[in-house]
Structure 1
Amino acid sequence: MRLPPFPRVRPVPASPSRAVDVPEAQRPFRLPAAGRPDVAVVVLHGFTSGPASVRAWAEGVAGAGCAVRVPLLPGHGTRWEDLAATGADRIRAAVRAEVDAALAEHRHVVVAGISMGGALALDAAAHRPVAAVLVVNPALRFGNPLAHAAPLLRHVVPSLPAIAGDIADPEAREIAYERTPVGGVAAVGRIQRAAERGLGRITAPVTVFRSAQDAVVPEASHRALLRGLTRAPVEVVPLPRSRHVATLDLDLPLLIAASRDAVARAVRRD
C-alpha cells in the first residue's frame, strides 16, 4: 500500500472525540438472494473508505442471484480519528464475525475485498471454510517503507494526506476520509502480516483482480500473494483500464462478470 511521504511539518492534531453519524452512502447493507439462497458473498471495502466504494461490485454480483453482505469495518465511515484508535484485532474479528454469520445462514460463502479488504478476505479464508476468495488489488505490502514505522510515528504525526481516489475514470469519486490516520496504518501493517502468514492455509480457489496501474499497492504485494498461495487454485484477471480502486473504475463490467463466473465455478466445485 503506497502512502504519501511522511512530511517534515507540524503534525495535524486529533480533534476532540465526538459522536458522528455514518453517512447513508457509507452504511453497511445486505442484498437478499434471488434464486440462490444457498450462496452468499461477503464484500469488504478498503482502508479509509467504506461500503459506497464496493456497492456497484456487490450489486453486480448479487445480480447472479446470490445474497450479498457488505459490512462497515470498525473505525470507518465516521472520522479518521476513530480509525486511528482502532486496532487490527478488532477489524479482523469483525470480518470473521460477518463470515461466521453468513456461514450460519448459507451453504456456500465467498469472501471478497479490495485493498485492505482483500487482505482481510484472505485472512478470513485462512481460518474459515469459504467456497472461494475474490480480491481486487489486495494490500499485503506497503509502497512507502516508512509505513512500517507507523507504530512509532503515530505519536509524532497523527495523520497524513488522503490516499483515496486512485481511479482512471474521471467521473468516478471515492468517498473516504480526508486524512490518513497513521495509527490506522499501523493496524493495516498487522493485518497484512497476518494475512500473509495465512496464505498457505487457503485451499479455496482465489481469483485475483489486478489493475494495470496502481499508485497504492506495489507489485511486491502481488508477488507475495502468488508466492504464498501454495495450496489454492489461483486465477489472475487483468483489469487493463483501471487503477487501484477498480470497483469504481472503467473495468467494472469485467470485474462483475468475472466475479460472477468465479462464484458459479466455486459453487459447482463445492
Structure 2
Amino acid sequence: MPVLPGAQPFRHEGGEVGVLLCHGFTGSPQSLRPWAEFLAERGLTVSLPLLPGHGTRWQDMQLTGWPDWYAEVDRELRLLTEQCRQVFVLGLSMGGALALRLAAKHGDAISGVVVVNPANKVHGLAAHALPVVRYLVRSTKGLANDVAKEGVDEIGYDRVPLHAAHSLRRFFRLVDSELPQVTQPLLLLRSPQDHVVPPADSARILSRVSSTDVTETVLEESYHVATLDHDAERIFQDSYEFIGRLAPGAGAKSKETASGG
C-alpha cells in the first residue's frame, strides 16, 4: 500500500550526536516531523522511522503487533549507534513506551530519554475484553487528532484495529515490568488535558524508572499530540537543551543533507 502523503519516514545525516524519534499507535512520522526537522536544523543526526502497519490504512495494521513496531525502532537505534558517539531516544504516546523499552534494553548505548505524553496502559473496561472481542469486531473508533490548536490535523487512522490494540496492551505490560531497568536521564513532558492518555500513565512511569536525573514538564496549552500543538516549540527547545546538557557540542559538526518525503 502507498504511504499517506506526509506520513513518510525522515532521516537527516548530521553530526556525531544522534536522535531516534518514535511515533505513536495508529499515528505516523508526521506527528513528529516538525520536532525532527528542528533537531536536524541544529546539526543532529536524526532518524524518524515509519512503524510497520502505520501510515497506509488501518487494515494493514491488523497484520502487525508490538514485536514488529519494536523491531523497527531497535534496528534504527543500532544504525545510529554505529555512526554516532551518543544517541538519544524520543517518543510520543506509544512511541514513549518504545523509547523507554529501548532504554531498558540498551543501557549505556543510550545517553538520555525524552517522552511526550507517554502511554503505559490500555484503559477502560473494554481493555479486559480485547482477547475475545478482537475476534468478533475488527476495529473501533480512532484516537488520532487530539490537538487543541485550530487548523492542525494529525495524519493517523480513524479506526483502531483490535488485534493490534490487544498486542499494544501486552506490550505496555511488558514495558511496565522493565521500567526499573531505565537508568538514563529522563525528560518527561505531559499535557494535563489529554483525551487519549491519562496523567496516571506519566505518574506510573516516573514512579517506576530508576533514573535519578529526571525532569517533568507540564504542557498547559496542549492536548495529547503536543508535538503539533501550542507547546510544540517548548518541547523542541527543552529537548534540544536536554540533549545539549548531556552531549556538549551536540550538532557542532553538521553535514547539510536531509532526506525524507
**Aligned with 1:51 (options 20, 25, 29):** 29
Distance 1:100 1:260, change over 3 A: same
Which residue number corresponds to residue 116 of structure 2?
136
- Stretches (4+) displaced over 6 A: none
**Aligned with 2:219 (options 239, 250, 253):** 239
Instruction: Give the whole-Å Cα distance in 1 for the aligned partners of 2:161 and 2:155.
Output: 16
2:3 is aligned with what amino acid? V
> TM-score scaled by structure 1?
0.88
- Contact 2:185/2:211 (CA < 8 Å) preserved in 1? no
Which residue number corresponds to residue 117 of structure 1?
95
Which residue number corresponds to residue 6 of structure 1?
none
**Aligned with 2:73 (options 95, 101, 112):** 95
Which residue number corresponds to residue 4 of structure 2?
23
Work out the percentage of aligned pairs sharing the same amino acid.
Answer: 39
Instruction: Give the whole-Å Cα distance in 1 for the aligned partners of 2:3 and 2:127.
Output: 28
- Contact 1:142/1:218 (CA < 8 Å) preserved in 2? no
Q: Provide the aligned length of Structure 1 versus Structure 2.
A: 248
Structure 1: where are the runs of 5+ without partners?
A: 1-19
Q: CA RMSD in A?
A: 1.6
How much has 1:112 moved relative to structure 2?
0.4
Instruction: Give the whole-Å Cα distance in 1 for the aligned partners of 2:64 and 2:202.
Output: 26
Instruction: Give the whole-Å Cα distance in 2 for the aligned partners of 1:269 and 1:223.
Output: 32
1:26 is aligned with what amino acid? A
Q: Secondary structure at the match of 2:88?
A: strand
How much has 1:24 moved relative to structure 2?
3.7
Which residue number corresponds to residue 154 of structure 2?
174
How much has 1:157 moved relative to structure 2?
1.1
- Contact 1:39/1:109 (CA < 8 Å) preserved in 2? yes
**Aligned with 2:202 (options 210, 222, 241):** 222
- Contact 2:192/2:199 (CA < 8 Å) preserved in 1? no
Distance 1:148 1:117, change over 3 A: farther
2:11 is aligned with what amino acid? R
Greater relative contact order (Cα < 8 A, sep 6+): 2
Instruction: Give the whole-Å Cα distance in 1 for the aligned partners of 2:240 and 2:211.
Output: 23
Structure 2: where are the runs of 5+ without partners?
A: 251-261
Q: Greater CA deviation, 41-50 or 232-241?
A: 232-241
